[in-house]
Structure 1
Amino acid sequence: MFKRNFIKKFAFLAVFSFCLPISYVQAKVITSVKPIGFITAALTDGVTETQILLPDGASPHTYSLKPSDLVKLKSADLIIWIGDDMETFLPGLLRSIDSSKQLELADDAKVKALLRAGHSHEHEDEDEDEDEDEHDHGHDHGHDHAAHDHHHGEFDMHIWLSPKIAAVTAQIIHDKLVAIYPDKAAKIDQNLNVFLKQLKETEQIIAKKLNNVQNKGYFVFHDAYGYFESEFKLNNLGSFTINPAIQPGVKKVSEIQNELNNKHAVCVFREPQFSPAIINKLVDGTDVKVGELDPLGMDVEISKDAYCKFLLKLTQQYLNCLE
């Protein structure tokens, strides 16, 4: 009787552990934000699994880790993140994790050399009082993804929007992966070569596609695209700081409308977390079109080709509004 029960119990445990999702049992390589995961997935293809820590739409600035995230981080072979000016929730946690299992990209000398200063086009509000609540309020919204990230450091940390930095980043991640999985070095080398070749081809395609819209001026609501814009010579006229969850006041609306008209903007770009109603109110009575840019690739599936797909998708989002 005892033997039969024991066998039953053992069989149940075996089945139970077999049914647990792999991600729960062991996370391999984890990246903080999705676009860094796109680059990493190109290099880990056929080597190990890449997982993303932040769920779609979460802000790297205001995200609160769940207990399951901590389990994932502790069991990871490698954690790749950008730096404490971007993922403000991570540095404290990473102190308890072996530093050899961490890769902070913005800390690498080769990445540092390519960083742009922050605040490149910021359009300052003349009416501070009216917008004070909006600015403070922004931190309470998880879906206000990354809206304030770059205000805190002196550099623009949206490094995944630079194909040039992506190439350098891929090399850094490659070197780290080879150190962790020496037996897979040949495959990781091959992956890097394929990625760099594909990236170069994609950059040429994008340059050709965006060539005709380089003189078309536009505004954004999140000054995140500086790397991409300077690489492809786009004409960003400035950025407006409004909270996506709050209707802007009358003065703010007329200020933005004046700016759109005075600078002959063709387009204003919102991000997925903005309600169309707020933006429509801002462009009402102007000839300005509304477009949408997604700087985190929310609709892009993680795969070895994901990074180039992400860049091409962003390119198409620019074209949809500027052409």
Structure 2
Amino acid sequence: MKKNRKLFILLEAFLAVLVIAAVLIMLWGKNGKDRYKVSVIIQNSDDNQWAAFKYGLRMAAEDKGIEMFVVSTGGALTVEEEKSAIEWEIDNGADAVIVQPVPSPDAEEMLKKIENKVPVMLVGYTASGNKDASRLPATGPDNYAMGAALAEELLKDYNGNIKGKTLGILTETTDSPAAVSREKGFTDTLKDTGVEISWSVSGVFDGNEEDSPGNQPKVDFVIALDDNSLTTAGSYSAANNLHGALVYGIGNSTEAVYYLDMGFAECLVVPDEFNVGYQSLTEIWEKLGHYFSSLQDITVSHTVLRRDTLFLKENQEILFTMSQ
């Protein structure tokens, strides 16, 4: 009995040595001449809304000595397309991936399988749509809080009294967990105020589509819950195609700031996309350098911009990151 126990202990010790040796071999391969490689896969990567995010990635890569590559994507990806892109990057030497998950029920399982190969950090929102239930870490803003902040700004402008007012809600997609959380934060904050939601449309509008915001019934306010929707609403407002509606929205591009500055938007809630990029890559770097550590969720801040406060000193940094 004692002999078997001794053999068992020796076997466990031998296996432990093998594990430690494997880890040391992995770490030994990452010396000063062979930097970690991290690939970033986001939807429509060339869109200007990603400027601050990509600037944050570049600054983190420079600070941490990481080889970082943003994969070129011409538009929205399917789950299979995203999976193929990730696997291509891993096959070509990526040590980890930063991914904006496709809004799909299948995305969580697909990305969880990828995580068995390399560390995965999500950006913007979790793949499951439920942060508490998600098994993958994410770096992004508090989308519910941003929606609530937008509603609070609207209430401030009317001393809390918007009873009888009407509004329309504009989003790029209804499938995105970010869009769902932002709308819930907005509508929860306006509960029992007496405001009426007359319509809600989603899509990318660049003309006179039948369901475009310009073809919707007249409302007092148009609420845009993402950058593309904000710039769409701003362009319709500039062309006098919103029937006099005032635009309030969430955005993070220089175009969004332009419409605010020109008076075609009343208020802009801006997520700190620079830190989404910087912190997500930094967290990945920590994981790669410490094999047994776990990636953590990171929540970044947001800022409220108004036309009359746009160029105050405290807002210069966020404006600068958008223009890089």
TM-score using structure 1 length: 0.39
Structure with the larger strand share: 2
Determine which structure has the larger helix proportion and give its number. 1
Q: Which has the larger radius of gyration?
A: 2
